[in-house]
Amino acid sequence: MSFRTAFSQTQVFRSRLGKMASQLSRADTGGLSLSDLPKSNVFTSKLPPDPSFETPEASHRAQRERLYPRMVKGALFTFVRPETNEDPELLGVSSKAIQDIGLKAGEENTTQFKAVVSGNEFFWEEGRGGIYPWAQCYGGWQFGAWAGQLGDGRAISLFESINPMTNVRYEVQIKGAGRTPYSRFADGKAVLRSSIREYIVSEALSALGIPTTRALSLTLLPKARVLRERVEPGAIVCRFAESWLRIGTFDLPHSRGDRDLIRKLATYAAEDVFNGWESLPAAVSLGKDLPADTVEEPARGLPWDKIQKHQGVEENRFARLYREIARRNAKTVAAWQAYGFMNGVLNTDNTSIYGLSLDYGPFAFMDNFDPQYTPNHDDHMLRYSYKNQPSVIWWNLVRLGECLGELIGAGSQVDEETFVKQGVTEDAAPSLIKRAESIIERTGDEYRTVFLNEYKRLMSKRLGLQTQKESDFQDLFSELLDILEALELDFNHFFRRLSNVSLADLASETGRKGVAPIFFHAEGFGGIGYTEDSAKERIAKWLDKWRQRVLEDWGPENDAGAKRQKAMKEVNPKFLPRSWILDEIIDRVERRGDRDILRRAMNMALNPFDEEWGLNQEEEERFCGDVPRFQRAMMCSCSS
Ligand code: AMP
Ligand code: MG
């Protein structure tokens, strides 16, 4: 298929989408079948394919071995086909993901759904066309070092779907689908263990309101025996995202000096991932120009070719794109910090352009609060520990700034023919570099501001506050974290338990000291140098400050107490898929043939703020209770 036919195919799907949308608004069926779901292939029709297999036919006719690992240049993807799998068993679906992508409930029971999510079927036929699957090409900085070409080594994108109800387009991908040109020395497979983890955590983060890639389904491949530290069962997660572009997608063409490809990719990101150049943020004032706590929401809607002169520096549309990516990541990492989530491997190839939490390897939710904690067993330098996440994401964004440096540094010359064709002249280079540097630096300030504002917003909500005060950061947030760290208390349990506290119980010092132990573990508290009394006293002191702030915000508690408690429970989850719970689920599915546990756990992950789930009360309470003492702050290796 040539570029042109591929593109017109996209148009066909678009017009089908129009028809579908009007049908839907009439019938309101609440979802479509998989075959009726509107599909497109904007990615493969607009971006350059692997020159060795320019068309689906060329790839399809090639022997599978020819699609095995090698260097791919000047391209952003290769057409590839998933390996077929015998007797796949669909272990579970996320009902929320089914709904969000636009499928109808029960669609997962169809033969077609099961075949597609296990890699056994895709929407293309020789001679008839359709949409051919692809693997993306990218590179990355891993643990601070340049790693060269990486790419989708075991993930294969099947098609883009468009939910006609929301108009949101997703790229649907299966992970663990077999080798691609980007598999390097690995096997293209995913083990059940890590697939269960990704399946559940994707949906848990989404339910918490944290931007993330999604998981539609989990399929067991009983015939695939995958060798890791031991032989393990294989599995496929069918996942989807608004975009799978990563900072690493820009890193690779940058490392090869491929300026045309960077420009094409940036243009694709702005026009086809975000809602067009016009949706990107106009220049904002930051830092010295504004009081510390002010959030300035940037205006949007500038014409695509508008050059804004801001504080003496010209900002073109590529600078706006860079800032949008930084702003999105700032908000996402703020949410990770506020909910104690760690990705574990924040390499640039795992950092999303769209600001999504992405690629779940050795991730974890915080148990006892410990800023030094990393769930990654191999991260000896603690590079990706909890406290480093905000700065490491900024480090990654600086790499992106370098990739986009020429485009953002060119200012108003960015569309001049000689610049587009040949790049910057030697004479103009110093001023271009200076402009790029000052934009990157200012974006750093913006990243920091957006991060802090979002972090404060979320922490205030978690503490049941309706307003924000300058002093909250020190008096409430920092002091709370210090207490949790010093007494080795559970981070997320604290917020949920606090949600249930009544101010009336905190009116006196005795009352506050009486409440304090609800935050202890069953065996008490940890830390050095505290007695039971001094531990209670420190918590009581904090509770007093918190009580005063809640009073300021809500007034004396009567009805307001119930309202405040409800508001807090809506942001403080009772259930989170902690590492020990995931381990138990994995063990039960893998070794004891339990299947229903997946359904129950997914139900909890999708409704994390509920008080009870009504499926298995004993288990629910256990999963929401104390983390067993010797299973706290677990670590896992990267082998997945
Ligand atoms: P990750 O650590 O999962 O983000 O993976 C880093 C890179 O290694 C990506 O390019 C993956 O596609 C690739 N990779 C990881 N595991 C495998 C595997 N089992 N087979 C092929 N490629 C893999
Ligand atoms: Mg990755």
State whether 116 and 230 are in the same domain: yes
Distances (CA, A) of 476 to 335, 539, 565: 18, 11, 18
538 and 445 in a common domain = no
Among residues 541, 569, 597, which one ends one of the domains? 569
Neighbours of 635 (CB within 10 A): 15
Q: Give the integer Cα–Cα distance in Å for 425 and 432.
A: 10
Residue 190 CA to ligand 1 center (angstroms) comes to 9
State which H helix or E strand residue 194 sits in.
Answer: helix 192-208
Q: What is the mean pLDDT of residues 432-452?
A: 96
Ligand nearest to the CA of 182: 1
- Whether 18 and 48 map to the same domain: the answer is no
Same domain, 396 and 512: no
- Is the residue at 629 inside a domain? no
- Residue 482 above 70 pLDDT? yes
Q: Does 221 lie in the same domain as 325?
A: no
pLDDT digits (tens, 9 = 90+) for 557-573: 887 899 999 999 999 99
Task: Please name the helix (run of DSSP H) or strand (run of DSSP E) that holds residue 455, with its range, or none.
Answer: helix 429-462
Q: List the one residue out of 137, 136, 125, 126 whose CA is nearest residue 173.
A: 136
Supply the mean pLDDT for the chain.
Answer: 93
Atom of ligand 1 nearest to the CA of 155: 12
* Residue at which a domain ends, from 188, 219, 244: 244
Q: Is residue 477 part of a domain?
A: no
Check if 183 has its Cβ closer than 6 Å to any atom of ligand 1.
yes
Name the residue with higher pLDDT: 471 or 30. 471
Give the number of whichever ligand sits closest to the CA of residue 227.
Answer: 1
Q: Would strands 364-365 and 308-310 be described as parallel, antiparallel, or unpaired?
A: unpaired
Catalytic residues: 349
Residue 485: inside a domain: no
Q: Is the distance from the beta carbon of residue 151 to the nearest atom of ligand 1 less than 6 Å?
A: yes
Q: Is residue 17 included in any domain, yes or no?
A: yes
In one letter, which amino acid is 47? L
Distance 633 CA to ligand 1 centre (A): 25
pLDDT band at 294 (very low <50, low <70, confident <90, very high): low
Res 29 pLDDT > 80: no
- Pick the closest to residue 404 from 562, 262, 224 (CA basis): 262
422 and 280 belong to one structural domain? yes
Domain annotation covers residue 483: no
Residues 193 and 272 in one domain: no
Per-residue exposure over 170-192, b if at least 16 CB sit within 10 Å of its own CB, e if not: bbbbbbbbbbbbbbbeebbbbbb
The reply to whether ligand 1 has any atom less than 6 angstroms from the CB of 187 is: yes
Q: Extract the tokens encoding 330.
A: 């700032």
110, 219: one domain: yes
Residue minimizing CA distance to atom 14 of ligand 1: 153
Our answer on whether the CB atom of 188 is closer than 6 Å to any ligand 1 atom is yes
In a domain, 183, yes or no: yes
78 plus 200 within the same structural domain = yes
Domain of residue 399: give its range. Answer: 259-365+377-457
How many angstroms separate the CA atoms of 368 and 370, rounded?
Answer: 6
Over residues 136-174, the pLDDT tens digits come to: 999 999 999 999 999 999 999 999 999 999 999 999 999
Distance 89 CA to ligand 2 centre (A): 25
Assess whether 302 and 393 both reside in one domain: yes
The residue among 434, 457, 480 that closes a domain is: 457
Regarding whether 217 and 333 lie in a shared domain, the answer is no
Give yes or no for residue 234 CB within 6 A of ligand 1.
Answer: no
Looking at the structure, tell me whether residues 35 and 12 fall in a common domain: no
Number of domains in the chain: 4
Closest ligand 1 atom to 350 CA: 4
User: Which sign, positive or negative, has the C-alpha torsion 345, 139, 332, 159?
Assistant: negative
Q: What is the pLDDT of residue 640?
A: 76
Distance 239 CA to ligand 2 centre (A): 14
What pLDDT is recorded for position 362? 96
Percent of the chain with pLDDT over 70: 94
**What mean pLDDT comes out for the span 16-35?**
60
In a domain, 640, yes or no: no
Q: Quick check: is 249 in a domain? A: no
Distance 361 CA to ligand 1 centre (A): 10
